[in-house]
Amino acid sequence: MSYPSGRHFLQIPGPTNVPEQVLRAMAKPTIDHRGPEFKALGLEVLGGLKPVFKTAGPVVIFASSGTGAWEAGLVNTLSPGDKVLMFETGHFATLWKNMAVRLGLEVDFVPGDWRHGVDPAVVEAKLAEDKDQRIKSVMVVHNETSTGVTSRVAEIRKAIDRTSHPALFMVDTISSLGSIDYRHDVWGVDVTVGCSQKGLMLPPGLGFNAISAKALAAAKTAKLPKSYWGWEEMLKANQGGFFPSSPATNLLYGLRESLHLLAAEGLDNVFTRHKRLAEATRRAVRTWGLEILCLDPEEYSPVLTTVVMPGWRGADAYRAAVLDKFNMSLGSGLGKLKDQVFRIGHLGDMNDLMLVGTLGGVEMGFSLTGVPCKQGGVMAAMDYLAAH
């Protein structure tokens, strides 16, 4: 193979581009994970994650993918046969549901069209109907990575509160944490699931649970089997900055640096930047005459835009051509959206010129592959970015 000059454009919605500062931080020599230097590192990252989740409570870190953090949230708070309320907002919501079923939970899975987020009115109605309070947890994906739809977590919390239902509230922030405003404490979330390779600008390998006092109380009586995923031993070790098993030390070096970068930019500025890049992308898509999968503007994702291919087909061949000719990776359609859509990631370590280059590759790909669309999307995005 010939050398593809220039940088690879990794424009999938995670794993995202890892900043040079983070890569350099991870290249440090591994240290004794029982020694004083590691203790300082552990305490710093465990404390530094709290402002990102916007919580005063504990955040635990697993050497895992986000899928592991899903499982930890379930097995620490629930028992076999417990009923949970979940919503079909896309591929990852479906995978989380499948995990819950395999673990022996009874899942009320509200069907969806993959083009809308969770409807707070449906949450309220479902809980109001649950007179015997059999539902032990309401589980929501904040930002559905397969669709580019963001559910309104604050409104869902209000819907739960209107029913006075005691169910736990669990939220998956795997593709929203560090990119979209999220408030674990203020929104009354009991378990927030996160991971390293999206807004935190790291490689995959770290999974997170932010835990409320209510969730900690539920963990005392939860009967689902657990060992590695147990919170109790983890929290006990974390008090001293340590972990009960070998931690991913070099990823923790990178996490410390990524937390520094987020703090230096300021989380509110990070969120504003993501919204701005997302709007520029959507203006490009509309100018091309193509359809955005998300149908409700209030639920547009700031971290990715899912674009419907004309005729709902041909996305995989188009993405392959873009990768071959321009060395750029676009996100594939997942699950029932396979070959029907492609996804443009615009999250993490991302700026205006990177987005313009991305959209330029997308538009050139249309011309190259004969996708029927109008020209000028890149210019529409540039005009918006220049004016804002």
* Span 334-367, pLDDT tens digits: 999 999 999 999 999 999 999 999 999 999 999 9
Contacts of 284 (CB under 8 A, 6+ apart): 359, 362, 363, 377, 378, 380, 381
The average pLDDT across 208-233 equals 98
The average pLDDT across 234-257 equals 98
Read off the pTM: 0.97
Q: Give the rounded percent of residues in the chain with a pLDDT score beyond 90.
A: 99
Using the predicted structure, report yes or no on whether residue 1 has a pLDDT greater than 80. no
Helix, strand, or coil (residue 300) = strand
Give the pLDDT confidence of 79-131 residue by residue, as tens digits.
Answer: 999 999 999 999 999 999 999 999 999 999 999 999 999 999 999 999 999 99
Using the predicted structure, report yes or no on whether residue 2 has a pLDDT greater than 90. no
Give the pLDDT confidence of 97-110 residue by residue, as tens digits.
Answer: 999 999 999 999 99
CA distance 141 to 59: 18
DSSP 3-state percent helix, strand, coil across the chain (nearest 5): 45, 15, 40
Average pLDDT, rounded, for the chain: 98
Give the pLDDT confidence of 139-172 residue by residue, as tens digits.
Answer: 999 999 999 999 999 999 999 999 999 999 999 9
Q: Selecting from 3.30.565.10, 3.40.640.10, 3.30.70.260, 3.40.50.1820, what CATH number does the domain 20-263 have?
A: 3.40.640.10
The average pLDDT across 41-59 equals 98
Return residue ranges of the chain for CATH 3.90.1150.10.
9-16+266-387
Residue 142 · residue 176 · CB < 8 Å: yes
What fold, for 9-16+266-387? Aspartate Aminotransferase, domain 1 (3.90.1150)
Residue 31 · residue 37 · CB < 8 Å: yes
Across the chain, where does the E strand assignment appear? 9-11, 59-63, 83-87, 106-110, 135-141, 143-144, 149-150, 168-172, 191-195, 206-211, 291-292, 304-308, 328-330, 341-345
The torsion of the CA quartet 174, 362, 385, 18, rounded to 10 degrees, works out to 40
Q: In the prediction, which pLDDT does 18 show?
A: 97
Q: In the prediction, which pLDDT does 4 show?
A: 83
Return residue ranges of the chain for CATH 3.40.640.10.
20-263
Cα 379 to chain centroid distance, Å, stands at 29
Q: In the prediction, which pLDDT does 299 show?
A: 98
**Concatenated DSSP letters of 101-144:** HHTT-EEEEE---SSS---HHHHHHHHHH-TT--EEEEEEESEE
Q: In the prediction, which pLDDT does 223 show?
A: 98
Using the predicted structure, report yes or no on whether residue 206 has a pLDDT greater than 70. yes
Using the predicted structure, report yes or no on whether residue 3 has a pLDDT greater than 90. no
Q: In the prediction, which pLDDT does 332 show?
A: 98
Q: In the prediction, which pLDDT does 157 show?
A: 98
